[in-house]
Amino acid sequence: MQDGLLEPKPELLASLYEETMLVNRLINDLQQLALAEAGQLHIEMGAVDVHHVIEQAVQALSADARKKEIHLQINISQDLPRVQADSERVGQVLRNLISNAIKYTPPKGAVFVSAYTNNQQVYIAVKDTGHGIPQEALPYIFERFYRVDSSRNRKTGGYGLGLAIAKQLVQLMGGTIYVESTDGHGSTFTFTLPVLQIEAPEKA
């Protein structure tokens, strides 16, 4: 080079790019958490077709699953009612859960996304065949910056904000989120959303 500096290696550029993307995501995530806690996150509630949102989220992550040869399967019960929610935010929660499931499941495993209804709620579950979560970690899993294995390569995990954001979003939409997991035997993350209540038309 004319200025005497060496041309940066492609690997260096790639790793700088990845670091930049990670910091960018950190800033967005922190901003979203702060807004949610201040009650200022914009939520647009309406009638949401969960089936459609699940298909879109699965589609968005199917390339990641394919790369790890992870079988990604949808299982939705017939006649699932629509829910009262914000479709963008439901998609965001789902992408968080599905990307975790793919990230924390070894190659050739499986991830199942299912939806069913019970008692005026729709339950959306993301189940994986990964390492699972140790019993003692379960109470902290939705806390910001909490990661079971903080020493792990950051690229495989990010900053530990995904589940904290998912919890805020689900609560803002009137639902709950919880996890069931046995160490070594996979995890199931489930969140609920209220079934859309159709008001009876007023009689003349």
Ligand X SMILES: Nc1ncnc2c1ncn2[C@@H]1O[C@H](COP(=O)(O)OP(=O)(O)OP(=O)(O)O)[C@@H](O)[C@H]1O
The nearest distance, CB 127 to ligand X, in angstroms, is 9
The nearest distance, CB 65 to Mg ion, in angstroms, is 15
Single residue of 81, 91, 160, 174 touching ligand X by CB under 6 A: 160
Question: Which position's Cβ is nearest ligand X?
Answer: 158
Nearer Cβ to ligand X (85/161): 161
Cα–Cα distance measured from residue 101 to residue 78, given in angstroms and rounded to the nearest whole number: 25
Count, residues near ligand X per rule CB under 6 A: 21
Nearer Cβ to Mg ion (132/162): 162
DSSP characters for the chain?
A: -TTSPPPPPHHHHHHHHHHHHHHHHHHHHHHHHHHHHTT------EEE-HHHHHHHHHHHHHHHHHHTT-EEEEEE-TTPPPEEE-HHHHHHHHHHHHHHHHHTS-TT-EEEEEEEEETTEEEEEEEE-S----GGGGGGTTSTT--TTTTS-GGGTTTS-HHHHHHHHHHHTT--EEEEE-TTS-EEEEEEEEBPPPPPPPP-
Contact map string, positions 178 to 197, toward ligand X, x by CB under 6 A: ---------x----------
Give the one entry of ligand X, Mg ion, none that residue 112 binds, where binding means its C-beta sits below a cut-off of 5 to 8 angstroms depending on kind.
none
190 binds Mg ion (CB under 5 A): no
- Of 119-158, binders to ligand X (CB under 6 A) are 128, 130-131, 133, 141, 146-149, 157-158
The nearest distance, CB 2 to ligand X, in angstroms, is 41
Contact map string, positions 134 to 163, toward Mg ion, x by CB under 5 A: ----------------------------x-
The site for ligand X (CB under 6 A) is made up of 100-101, 104, 128, 130-131, 133, 141, 146-149, 157-164, 187
